[in-house]
Structures are given as C-alpha cells and as structure tokens.
Amino acid sequence: MSARCYDNRPVTRTDSKGRALVSGLRGYEPNRISVNPLDLPFDAEVDGLELVLVPPARSGTSLKIPVMRSRSASFRLVDANGVAVPAGSSVRIAGAERRFPVGFDGKAFLSGMGLRTDVEATWAGHTCHAQVDLPAHAEEMPELGTVPCR
C-alpha cells in the first residue's frame, strides 16, 4: 500500500490492488496526484510518480499511475575464463532494449527478470550470454553471486 497525495498533501492510501479514492478535486483545473516513493517497495519500477488530472466538475474519473513490481537481482558477471566482464560493459535481458551498466569487478544489476532469464553482455566488440536463475521465494533484490557468461 502506498500513500496518494493531492497537491503534496497526503489524502488516501491504496488498497491491496493499488486502488484509491481521491475526493474534492477541483473541476476544470489541474490537480496533481502523486505517489510517495518512500512507500513503494524496493523492487518497484516507476515511470512517473505524479500525474496532472483535469476532471469535469462534480464527476468521477479514473487514472493510473504507472507503478509495477519487477523482479531484480545483482550478480557478478565473468567470462568463460572466470575473468570479470569489464566495467563499462552493458547487460540486458536477451531480446530487450533496456540496457544496464556493468560496474567494477563485473558487478551487474538487472530488473524485469523472470525466474529464469537469458542475459546478454556486450563490450568493445565482444558479446557473451548467460542464464540467470532467481530463487522462487527470493528477497526483494537478491545477490546471486558469480554468473558465468559464455
């Protein structure tokens, strides 16, 4: 559950399905509706925390703030020789466009994962592929240890 704010004032909390009722909106005027990011779980992906709504007077309307939970994990990515993938490389879920940077010692973070995720890393004309498995009952963002990339 997260708080919903109206013009930076807390006015309600969402239910277990993320729904909330906000009353007292100004008709035909901009009303800022937002989510408090401190109330979101660590594994939430957010496209935006605030929307501006201009409803008709004395009416109801529906809006959706794009917040969704996403499985994430961090791990150390190494090549076939056990050497860390170089810092500055990028990693992505195979077939996806969104890329994540690889840090020092091959440390990588990835979100949008399934229980079994095919990963592709690229750097300086090299590409390797790995399979990352998440535990079924993983914590919000597990550390998966070393993952070989071939």
Residue 119 is predicted with a pLDDT of: 96
Tokens of 139: 């914590």
Q: Which domains does the chain have, with CATH numbers?
A: 3-68 (no CATH), 70-148 (2.60.40.2070)
Low-confidence ranges of the chain (pLDDT < 70): 1-7, 138-139
Residue 141 is predicted with a pLDDT of: 80
Tokens of 118: 């095919």
Q: Confirm if 147 and 107 have CB atoms less than 8 A apart.
A: no
Residue 47 is predicted with a pLDDT of: 81
C-alpha to C-alpha distance for 141 and 82, rounded to whole angstroms = 24
